[in-house]
Structure 1
Amino acid sequence: MGKQIPQLKAKHQMPVLFSFFSGSGFLDLGFENEGFEVAFVNEISPAFLEAYKYSRTRMGLPTPKYGYYNLDINAFLNGRKKELLQLVDTTRNTGSLVGFIGGPPCPDFSVAGKNKGARGVNGKLSLAYVNIITGVLPDFFLFENVKGLWSTVKHRIYFEKLKLKLHKAGYVTSERLCNALEFGVPQDRERVLLFGIRNELLVPKDHTGFGEITNFPWQKFTKYDVSEVKKNNWMNTNDFGKNITPSLADAMKQITVQYWFDKNDVEHHPNAKSHFQPRKGIIKMQTVREGDVSRKSYKRLHRYRYSPTVAYGNNEVHLHPYKERRISAAEALAIQSLPKEFELPQSMSLSNMFKTIGNGVPFLLSNGIAKTIHAFLKDNICKK
């Protein structure tokens, strides 16, 4: 079971996705917005999984057909593998392609994180995800991770070993270091994305002999050239609390913090009051200029620039551009480009709120990649 490769029954039929390391569903939501069906959801954190369920209920989205699995992913390499294979086969019997999507937790590959690499607890999860892919053989997959896995020499060696394992299992792959800014996210966030598809599905087999896809349209749906964005004459820093007037082209305004605060009406969002209350440090907050993101912590966002990478762990604090507080969960969700209808449960702890937001794939990045994969499948898949 799980080994046979299907063909689409009809050109319009959308693939069915199995989601791993699902968090609170940011990546999945981007794919669903493109028409993919997420049928299976696996997340080890009970708090994140409850938030996933809550947000879907609030947005009127259906429950995944195969349900939610609050399990360590390794369970699907052992006692639950047969169950996963059966679900994949059930899906294939409908004529749909099956895709696996996921971003294994990545602090072990992050330069700013633990940097333990493949030996770290989280680093081993990347191998577990690849082992599930090569053991179950979905028709295609998406693997998302931090820049460090791709750009740091010792981690890149591990990344290439994972790719080789996938190639030996019959996949051809394409990878790219993407920046969320390219897709209109108001955030400078780099991530390596690896797409793979079973070689048997491609006609013509448009790849080299080394297992690499040569025609994957990574930039087909990008909106911005990152080099042009960064060359723009952005405001530098301003005195905290000072009234300022932006002088930006309309296109550039759409990747600023304030544009997204307004777009998502963050002041009236259900998570508007979900922010840490400073017990001390108010005086320190007042001394940080608007737009000063040069330090490890106490970075004050600039209302008329994009945000640095959303990361709220390891004592990193992002301050509101013109208020004496940290940013709220509503504001952080906006910077992750989530629709304003997306909300987290009020019962969720602040620590878990900001952790799941920081771990999530920005919605517009996810949706852009979903469009890219959809376009590639339509143009390159065997059809009866």
Structure 2
Amino acid sequence: MIITSTTVVDLFSGAGGTGLGFKQEGFQILGAVENNKHAAETYEKNLDVKVKNINIRELEPQTFREELNLQRNQLDVLVGCPPCQGFSRMQKNNKGINHQDNDLVIKYLDFVEEFMPKFAVFENVPGLITKPYGHIFYEKLCLGLKELGYKRNEKLVDVADYGVPQHRKRIIVIAGRNGEEPPFPQPTHGEPGKIDKSQTPLYPWLTVYDAIGNNKYPQLKPGENGEHDGKYPNHIAPKTTQKIVEFISMVPKNGGSRTDIPKQFWLKCHLSHKGHSDVYGRAAWNRPSNTITAGCLNPSKGRFIHPEQDRAFTPREVAALQGFPDDFVFYGKCLQVQIGNAVPPPLAKAIAQELRHRLIQS
């Protein structure tokens, strides 16, 4: 392999949100590892990088490093965004404490030890530091990085502050080898009306309207295909029963909630509890969307109804809310999982920009 620029290896790569952000900043992606075959296909076809489609537990770090023809200490950046379901806020009553993927945080550390990259980047949900059992793995990660000689710079961020039209909080850890203080990207956007113009200029948060408004995509009814000969890839509205369509049509446009509907029309499953108010809710045009999750095409999973049209979001629309460009096509099955689990490319790009600037200077 001929290395021509700053380099990155992408572990738990998903459909390519991190890879796209780093590629946009000029990084050469030397390799990627992803267990989901559909996400791996999406990554390969969009980023032109061969993805090792394997359960990372079955991959020895030394074997992978040697396959990439890399020496220890040669790689610039190693990125790891392990599955976060066990630490997710969706796991109630500590049900995620024994989740099978929790230990992948430590598996990432094994790869850091083998590759010894200039910088190591780690991303996960806030539950990694807020849930007691999550914090156990977080402390192991931090201690492991320290023992390897890395110095950390970490923050809990909202991706809306980095130009993503969505509220999505994540813990980001950036570690520098040989005790080097690693850079951390500064926010580029802020809450309208609260931006301190005397400080570094910030743009207002991007909104749902900025991402998918102004008739950017063809209007659809549930089940309709709006791809239009490939012009709008993945713009296909999920199928919905007539009963649900009728219920959705009663939810007030532009940010309305199911709780705005008279109780006589509520679904039976909503009559017995008061929680989950965002379920069957509409997104609002004038603010960032709620967090795009792996259930983002299902109105019963959150505020995933179009602001005006009586249907759930399409994969194309939620991809836009994640910061993916319209020419990034998702392949295979489980598109909602591929999109909802992705790292928003603008956040990855912001991290890549800071690291590349430091690497070029050194």
Please say if 1:255 is aligned against 2:206.
Answer: yes
Structure 2 residue 15 is the aligned partner of structure 1 residue 32:
no
Kindly state the Cα deviation for residue 264 of structure 1 after the two structures are TM-superposed.
Answer: 9.7
The 3 A distance-change label for structure 1 pair 310 and 264 is: farther
What does 1:1-384 align with in structure 2 at a 5 Å threshold?
A: 14-54=5-45, 56=46, 61=47, 63-64=48-49, 67-77=50-60, 81-87=61-67, 90-92=69-71, 97-113=75-91, 115-116=94-95, 119-199=98-178, 213=181, 216-219=183-186, 222-225=187-190, 228-229=191-192, 251-252=203-204, 255-262=206-213, 265-267=216-218, 269-289=232-252, 290-292=254-256, 295-313=277-295, 315-317=300-302, 318-345=304-331, 348-349=332-333, 352-379=334-361, 381=362
- Any runs of at least 4 consecutive aligned residues in structure 1 with deviations exceeding 6 A, and if so which? none
| Amino acid of the structure 2 residue aligned with 1:216 | P
| Post-superposition offset of 1:179 | 1.1
Tell me the number of residue pairs that the alignment of Structure 1 and Structure 2 aligns. 318
Q: Once the two structures are aligned, what percentage of the paired residues are identical?
A: 28
Residues 221-273 of structure 1 show CA distances to partners (whole Å, capped at 9, x for unaligned) of x2113xx34859xxxxxxxxxxxxxxxxx954x61112111589333512112
C-alpha root-mean-square deviation of aligned residues, in Å?
2.8
Cα distance change, pair 186–173 in 1 and its aligned pair in 2 (3 A): same
Q: Residues of 1 paired with 2:134 and 2:53: CA distance?
A: 29
Q: Give 3-state SS (helix, strand or coil) of 1:52's partner.
A: helix
- Asked if the contact 2:119–2:174 (Cα under 8 Å) also holds between the matched residues in 1, the reply is yes
Q: Note the C-alpha offset of 1:304.
A: 2.0
Q: Distance in 2 between matches of 1:187 and 1:324?
A: 21
Offset of residue 296 of structure 1: 4.2
- The residue that corresponds to 1:241 in the other structure is none
Determine if contact 1:181/1:189 at 8 Å carries over to the other structure: yes
8 A contact 2:213–2:285 mirrored in 1 = no
Secondary structure of the 1:123 match is: coil
Amino acid at match of 2:20: L
31-40 vs 158-167, greater mean Cα deviation: 158-167
SS at match of 1:150: helix
Give the 3-state SS of the residue equivalent to 1:142 in structure 2: strand
CA offset at residue 83 of structure 1? 2.4
Q: Is the 8 Å Cα contact of residues 76 and 84 (structure 1) preserved in structure 2? A: yes
Q: Any gaps of 5 or more consecutive residues in structure 1?
A: 1-8, 200-204, 207-212, 233-249
> What is the CA distance between 1:73 and its match in structure 2?
0.8
Deviates more, 1:108-117 or 1:141-150: 108-117
Shift of 1:281: 1.1
- Rounded to whole Å, the distance in 2 between the matches of 1:259 and 1:336 is 12
2:348 counterpart SS class: helix
Given that residues 73 and 129 in structure 1 are in contact (C-alpha distance below 8 angstroms), is that contact kept between their aligned partners in structure 2? no
Residue type matched to 2:63 in 1?
A: E
CA contact (8 A) 1:92 1:98 kept: no
Task: Indicate conservation of the 8 Å contact 1:272/1:329, yes or no.
Answer: yes
Rounded to whole Å, the distance in 2 between the matches of 1:292 and 1:154 is 36
Pair 229,146 (structure 1): closer, same or farther in 2 beyond 3 Å? farther
Report the CA distance between 1:31 and its aligned residue: 0.3
How far apart in 1 are the matches of 2:313 and 2:90?
A: 21
Q: Residues 329-370 of structure 1: CA distance to partner in whole angstroms, max 9, x if unpaired?
A: 11001101111211123xx33xx1011100001111111111
For the residue of structure 1 that corresponds to 2:247, the secondary structure is helix
Q: 1:144 deviation in Å?
A: 0.5
Partner of 2:227: none
Provide, for residues 55-86 of structure 1, a one-character-per-residue CA deviation record: whole Å limited to 9, x for no partner: x1xxxx5x33xx32111111223xxx442231
Alpha-carbon distance in structure 2 between the residues aligned to 1:357 and 1:331? 10
What is the distance in 1 between the residues matched to 2:74 and 2:62? 20
Change (3 A) 1:278 1:251: farther
Q: Secondary structure at the match of 2:108?
A: helix
- Aligned residue for 2:121, secondary structure, equals strand
Between 179-188 and 367-376, report the one with greater CA deviation.
367-376
Instruction: Name the CA distance, whole Å, in 2 between partners of 1:230 and 1:319.
Output: 27
Give the TM-score, by structure 2 length.
0.79
Tell me by how many angstroms 1:153 deviates.
4.0
Moved more, 117-126 or 354-363: 117-126
* Per-residue deviation, 1:283: 2.4
Native 8 Å contact 1:26 1:361 kept in 2: yes
Gaps of 5+ in 2: 196-201, 219-230, 258-275
2:174–2:184 Cα contact (<8 Å) kept: no
